[in-house]
Structures are given as structure tokens and as C-alpha cells.
Amino acid sequence: MASSNRAVVFQNVKDMRVETLDFPKLEMPNGRSAPHGVILKIVATNICGSDLHIYRGSFPVPQGMVMGHEMTGEVVEIGSDVEFLSEGDLVSVPFNVACGRCRNCRARHTEVCETVNPDVSCGAYGFNLGDFQGGQAEYLFVPYADFQLLRFPDKDQAMEKIRDLALLSDILPTAFHGLMEAGAKPGSTVYIAGAGPVGRCGAAAARLLGASCIIVGDYHQDRLDLMKNNGCETIDLNQDVPLTDQIEAILGEPMVDCAVHYVGNEAHGIGREADDMNPAHAINQVIDATRAGGATGIVGVYGPDPLASSKAEQEGTFSIDFGKAWIKSPRISGGQAPIMHYNRELMMSILWDRMPYLSDMLNTKVISLDEASDAYAAFDTGVSEKFIIDPHGMIPA
């Protein structure tokens, strides 16, 4: 057993460093013993667009926090109360930390667990939500392991598809959740705001659901090219043309059945407004583009943002055109995704090759732990890769 743990640590805005820390213990952040937990040897741990909110300073976290909330790992140590997992099992870790015992968890709302964070009903790894350390590291402590962890049925089969299965901890179920909240179904026309990794997962999930026309909007041409090459219609948001006009040029009508906003509070305006962060404008765009009686999912991270241009947005208050939208009988849903609500079914879809296009859409790139800092800087520029950190060199070339 290892005696230390190398990890990506937040030092300051745009300053991520790999440091050597103590090996994790089977105990909660408050020091309470956690016999219900396990220690994982991390096989794959991704850099998420949400991590960029921290990297840029939009989501404050304490200095010294271990980054990362998208983890896949091998069980190497088991608490005395763990009954259904064994050493050597390969598992996916939902980014929501959840007890499985409270009212919300029992209702499958693991994104708003009532017990794991004393400050708010929400816990997450590497996100200053309950003081749980992140998993961009060699090893990770996971509490309530019997409840939380998704075990892959065949370890060898899983390792062959690890690049896709690594997406189950967050962005693929999150993308799927956005579509569910927006009412996507076979034949739906869908607008996806943002062609980052989670938006690309949204396009892949929309194909799995049988959506008809899948339209993706973004500012980065290489991301749009990636979507176009995988069967999506694309909109260049640098154009100084209203979003609804650009949708009409594709569909023949200026609206879609459902729209999902995957970016969050660092979203930008269209055209001439694209140089300034305008998160409220971005929300209003997707609401405006959704047909009367349709639904809009907002799963990008929204909250108080110290970098926002207005005091209201710095405090987490956004100007939504609800009066304009009300007449359309809209359904608008936001918040984190309950990963456990979807991850098993999506795992089976991957294992049975129902999403063979996923790797092409995501454009995954495997890197070492020591390359993480440079990968953060590259991801911050809008490159089209999805970075997967392989701390132990276990992922096949």
C-alpha cells in the first residue's frame, strides 16, 4: 500500500500544482470515522469545464484543496461496514457526495443530499461543497461506498472502454439530465448551448434518445467542426445575428422543442456582445429559442461570481426575462444532475455499443498527472480536447 498521494492542488487563480500529500484515511472531513467508505486507486480522473470556474476564480475554493470531481478507480481499501464491494473492483464515482439515507437521497435526489454538507444541501468532491477533497490524484477516499459507487460488471471489458466510461462520473449523466429536464424524446428538435465537453456529451445523448435535428452553438470553430463532423447542425455565435434567426435558417422556424444551456455563469453574449460575460443574456437566449409549451434545461453552473460585471451577478442574481417568457407556458429547470439517476443505464449503453460515436464527439486526450497544470491552461483557451488524467499509467494507448 502506498504511503503518500500525489494530487493536483489549487494554490491560486490559474495556479494548479501537483503536490505530495498524505495517503487518504477512512474518515469524513470533520474527522469522524467512516467505516462505510473505501479508498480508490484512481484509474481515470478528468478535467471538467466546472473546474475552469475554480481555475479562473469564478467559484472560490480554499487554498490547498485537491481538485477534481470526475473519477473512476479501483477499490484498494474497504471499511468494515462495506458489504457489496471487494478489493479490485473497478468503479465510477458520482461527483455528488450523497449519504443514501436522508429524505432527498431516498427520493433519488442525490444532488441535494441533506447530510454531507453542514452549510447547504449539496455535497461534491473538489468543489468546496462539504470539504471533500477532489480526485485529480493517485488515491481518493469515498464515503457511503455501497450506496454511491457504480461497479463495472467486467473489469477487462470496462478497461477496453475506459475513455467512454470515465465520462459517467459527471458530464455524460449531466448532459443526459439536461435533456430529460428539457423533455427531449425521439424526433425532438434540440438546441445545445455550448460545445464544450458537456455540450458534446449532450449532442451524443440526444442521438441516443433519437432526437431529429441537433443544433449546437459555440464560439470556437474547432469545436463546431467536431460537431458538424458528427452529424450535428452548428451555429457560430460570433455572428452578429439573433439566435432565433440562425435556428430558423436551419429548421424553417425560429424555435426548437427543447433547449439546454450547458455553459454556466461564464457564458457570453452573441456577436458584438461575445467579448463580455453575459450569463443572463445566455439564459434568456435559450428560453427565447424554446417553443411555446416546450422546456429549457439549465445545467451549467450558476451562482455568485466575483468576476461578474454587475454587483447583482456577483451575488448570484440574474435578470431573467420571465415576463416575456411567461406567455409561452415555459418549463425551466436548473441545478446539478443527480448522477446516480442515470449512470447505470448510460453505462449499459456504452458497454453494449449503443454510443459508438461518443469518443469521436468528446475527442478525449489522456495525460499524466504531471501534465495537468498545462492541460488546465490549454483547456482555458477553448481547445476541443477532453482531458483525462491517468495517474498510474493504466489506460491503454
Q: What are the pLDDT tens digits along the chain (397 aa)?
A: 788 999 999 999 999 999 999 999 999 999 999 999 999 999 999 999 999 999 999 999 999 999 999 999 999 999 999 999 999 999 999 999 999 999 999 999 999 999 999 999 999 999 999 999 999 999 999 999 999 999 999 999 999 999 999 999 999 999 999 999 999 999 999 999 999 999 999 999 999 999 999 999 999 999 999 999 999 999 999 999 999 999 999 999 999 999 999 988 777 767 766 656 677 788 889 999 999 999 999 998 888 888 887 888 888 888 888 888 899 998 999 899 999 999 999 999 999 999 999 989 999 999 999 999 999 999 999 999 999 999 999 998 7
What pLDDT, on the 0 to 100 scale, is given for residue 281?
Answer: 83
The three grid cell numbers given for residue 211, joined into one nine-digit string = 432526437
What pLDDT, on the 0 to 100 scale, is given for residue 383?
Answer: 94
State which residues form the domain around 189: 171-334
Same domain (yes/no): 162, 180 = no
235 falls within a domain: yes
What pLDDT, on the 0 to 100 scale, is given for residue 282?
Answer: 83
C-alpha radius of gyration, the chain, whole number: 20
Segments in the chain forming alpha helices (H): 49-56, 103-106, 145-148, 155-160, 162-165, 171-181, 197-209, 221-228, 243-251, 279-289, 311-314, 322-326, 343-351, 358-362, 372-380
22 falls within a domain: yes
Same domain (yes/no): 274, 359 = no
H/E stretch holding 12 reads: strand 4-12
Last-in-domain residue among 318, 334, 350:
334
396 falls within a domain: no
Q: Are strands 214-218 and 139-142 parallel, antiparallel or unpaired?
A: unpaired
Same domain (yes/no): 179, 164 = no
**d(Cα 243, Cα 216) in Å, to the nearest integer?**
11
Residues in Cβ contact with 45 at an 8 Å cutoff, skipping those fewer than 6 apart: 68, 70, 71, 72, 135, 136, 137, 388, 389, 391
| Number of neighbouring beta carbons within 10 Å of residue 312 | 12
225 falls within a domain: yes
Same domain (yes/no): 145, 267 = no
| Beta bridge pairs of residue 332 | 296
- At what angle are helices 221-228 and 197-209 packed, to 10 degrees? 20
Last-in-domain residue among 304, 334, 364:
334
DSSP string across 263-287: S-TT-B-SGGGGGSB-HHHHHHHHH
Last-in-domain residue among 293, 309, 334:
334
186 falls within a domain: yes
H/E stretch holding 193 reads: strand 190-193
Q: Residue-wise over 317-328: b if at least 16 C-beta within 10 A, else e? A: ebeeeeeebeee
What pLDDT, on the 0 to 100 scale, is given for residue 264?
Answer: 81
User: How far out from the chain centre does Cα 348 lie?
Assistant: 19
The three grid cell numbers given for residue 83, joined into one nine-digit string = 458489504
Strand order through the sheet with 331-334: 233-236, 214-218, 190-193, 256-261, 290-298, 331-334
What pLDDT, on the 0 to 100 scale, is given for residue 27?
Answer: 97
Whats the size of the chain, residue-wise? 397
Same domain (yes/no): 298, 229 = yes
63 falls within a domain: yes
Same domain (yes/no): 262, 165 = no
Q: How many domains would you assign to the chain?
A: 2
Same domain (yes/no): 165, 181 = no
| Residue 384, amino acid | S
Same domain (yes/no): 161, 31 = yes
Same domain (yes/no): 307, 249 = yes
CATH of residue 227: 3.40.50.720
What pLDDT, on the 0 to 100 scale, is given for residue 312?
Answer: 86
| Beta bridge pairs of residue 77 | 39
What pLDDT, on the 0 to 100 scale, is given for residue 51?
Answer: 95
CATH of residue 51: 3.90.180.10
Same domain (yes/no): 40, 150 = yes
Segments in 39-109 forming alpha helices (H): 49-56, 103-106
Same domain (yes/no): 183, 116 = no
395 falls within a domain: no
**d(Cα 110, Cα 76) in Å, to the nearest integer?**
25
| Strand boundaries in 80-145, DSSP class E | 90-93, 139-142
Same domain (yes/no): 145, 18 = yes
